[in-house]
Amino acid sequence: MRAGSPRRLTAIAPKGLTKVFYSDDGSTAVEIALKMAFQYWEQTKKKNTKKKFIAFTGAYHGDTFGSMSVGEIDIFVRKYRPLLFETLRAPYPYCYRCPLKMSHPGCKTACLGVLEEMLRERRGEIAACVIEPGFEGAAGMITAPPGFLKGVRRLTRKYGVLMIADEVAAGFGRTGHMFACNAEGVSPDLLCLAKGLTGGYLPLAATLATDRVYSAFLGKHDQFKAFFHGHTYTGNPLGCVAAIANLDVFERERTLDALKGRISFLRELLDDIADLPHVGDIRQTGLVAGIELVKDRATKEPYPANERVGHRVCMEARKSGLMIRPLGDTIVLMPPLSIKGHELKKMARITRECIERIAR
Ligand SMILES: *Cc1c(COP(=O)(O)O)cnc(C)c1O
């Protein structure tokens, strides 16, 4: 396979994503998707009014200005707020602390209703809706209940808005599927990939698009409809070779099949942590989990930020040879997909012991 050939990617991508634009990191992959979505409407509508984006509460899409604008995590974006473009914000299903103060599944995913309301009122203004399928990573491994993503796809279709799926974290097996979109049979209009694309070894990212989006960029030379965006390392051959080697490993080792057992074993191991007195919520999807620590389990009262409980748990774990990271007071377990059963067991044991020792 020729380096840079998109066929390996389009063969495994959700249906309809036939075109690939390469770049070098996740933020850029998102930036490109935002620009493509914006330009798509500029070039297909006579008097374009679709210039805004809808994104979700707790979203993280990267550190460049466009991706920060659609992101929400305050500590990352607060200082730059005056420079960011306005984004409409729909509630992501953080069911443990439901933004609508309801509970799943009794709520029948009422947060989709809020999104629909927004789309109904302002559809003429919305270029695209950006979402992290499967789970919101940086927000604390917030896993979306089944059906949510499908609902977002249904609504974006209904109201004529493009859907951008940011699978920079979820893509390439993390959720147990090649892409989180696959779990719900969803095909977005634009798909952002990075991190796992090369197994994390070399920087490479990709923004995939449908024929429909792609064809809006075709025209005579003097119409200048092309997508004028290019970095020095766009489609870097070494990155592409690493990505192809990584996809070969997925095939050769049947990684997705092998993951099934590891995912259910992780679920069992997490059950054993769930009963600790300061564990408020455990959220797992595929081979990723967030363990949210709280001061008071009954009221879900968080620890004061300056106690840095999550950070201290992770520092404690290092003493036993386990490197994990917190997101606030949520302990993240995101082991390599190739992790062995006994290693998972050790990871869970150390995590449990350190939480017991530190979280009081
Ligand atoms: C990490 C991440 C990004 C940014 O990717 P970089 O390669 O760090 O620029 C964007 N979106 C999501 C969901 C991520 O997890």
Q: Which atom of ligand 1 is nearest to the CA of 67?
A: 10
Cα–ligand 1 centroid distance for 210 (angstroms): 22
Whose Cα sits closest to atom 15 in ligand 1? 169
Q: Please, which pLDDT band fits residue 5 given cuts at 50, 70 and 90? A: low
Pocket test for ligand 1, best of 22, 56, 61 (most atoms within 8 A of CB): 61
Grade residue 3 by pLDDT with cuts at 50, 70 and 90: very low
User: 114 with 196, same domain?
Assistant: yes
Domain assignment present for 2: no
SS3 content of the chain, % helix, strand, coil (to 5): 40, 20, 40
Q: What is the mean pLDDT of residues 237-245?
A: 96
Query: 27 and 129: one domain?
Result: yes
Mean pLDDT score, 337-352: 98
pLDDT digits (tens, 9 = 90+) for 15-66: 999 999 999 999 999 999 999 999 999 999 999 999 999 999 999 999 999 9
Output the CA–CA distances (angstroms, integers) from residue 160 to 50, 129, 237, 347, in the order listed: 10, 10, 37, 45
Q: Which residue, 202, 235, 252, sits at the end of a domain?
A: 252
What is the rounded average pLDDT of the residues 254-266?
98
Task: Report how far ligand 1's centroid is from the alpha carbon of 16 (Å).
Answer: 23
Do residue 222 and residue 351 come from a single domain? no
pLDDT over 60 (residue 335):
yes
User: At 135, is the pLDDT very low, low, confident or very high (cuts 50, 70, 90)?
Assistant: very high
pLDDT of residue 42: 98
Query: Is residue 194 within 6 Å of ligand 1 at its C-beta?
Result: yes
Residues 306 and 192 in one domain: no
The rounded Å distance from CA 108 to ligand 1 centre is: 30
CA of 67 to the centre of ligand 1 (A): 9
Q: Read off the pLDDT band of 77 (50, 70, 90).
A: confident
**Residue 228 is part of a domain; what is its CATH number?**
3.40.640.10
Q: Is the CB of 136 under 6 A from ligand 1?
A: no
Classify residue 197 by its DSSP letter: G
User: Of 252, 281, 310, which one is at a domain's C-terminal end?
Assistant: 252
pLDDT of amino acid 45: 95
24 CB within 6 A, ligand 1 = no
For atom 11 of ligand 1, the residue with the nearest CA is 61
Shared domain for 239 and 278, answered yes or no, is: no
Q: Is the CB of 27 under 6 A from ligand 1?
A: yes
Tell me whether residue 120 is in a domain: yes
State yes or no: pLDDT of 343 exceeds 50.
yes
d(CA 275, ligand 1 centre) in Å? 32
Among 232, 252, 272, residue at a domain's last position: 252
In a domain, 31, yes or no: yes
**Inside any domain, residue 1:** no
Based on the domain organization, do 111 and 215 belong to the same domain? yes
Q: Quote the pTM value.
A: 0.97
User: Could you give the percent of the chain with pLDDT greater than 90?
Assistant: 96
Whether residues 220 and 266 fall in one domain? no
Inside any domain, residue 11 = yes
User: What pLDDT shows up at residue 75?
Assistant: 83
Residue 224 is predicted with a pLDDT of 95
Q: Structural domain of residue 320, as residue ranges?
A: 255-358
Instruction: Please tell me whether residues 179 and 31 are part of one structural domain.
Output: yes
User: In the chain, how many domains are there?
Assistant: 2
Averaged over 97-111, what is the pLDDT?
A: 94
Band of the pLDDT at 217, cuts 50, 70, 90?
A: very high
* E strand residue ranges, the chain: 17-23, 52-56, 87-90, 126-131, 135-136, 142-143, 162-166, 190-193, 205-210, 279-285, 288-293, 325-327, 330-333
Q: At residue 1, does pLDDT exceed 60?
A: no
Would you state the pLDDT for residue 270? Answer: 98
C-alpha neighbours within 13 Å on the C-beta side of residue 293: 29
pLDDT at 197 (0 to 100): 98
Pocket test for ligand 1, best of 28, 130, 195, 204 (most atoms within 8 A of CB): 195
Which residue type does 70 have? Answer: V
Tens-place pLDDT, residues 196-206: 999 999 999 99
Q: In the prediction, which pLDDT does 123 show?
A: 86
CATH code of 264's domain: 3.90.1150.10
Question: Does 169 sit in the ligand 1 pocket, CB within 6 Å?
Answer: yes
Mean pLDDT of the region 148-174? 98
CA dihedral 117, 64, 16, 179 (to 10 degrees): -90
Conformational region of residue 23, where left means phi above 0, alpha means psi within -120 to 50, and beta covers everything else: beta
Do 289 and 338 have their domain in common?
Answer: yes
Q: Tell whether 244 and 218 lie within a shared domain.
A: yes
Domain membership flag for residue 24: yes
For residue 250, pLDDT over 60 is answered with yes
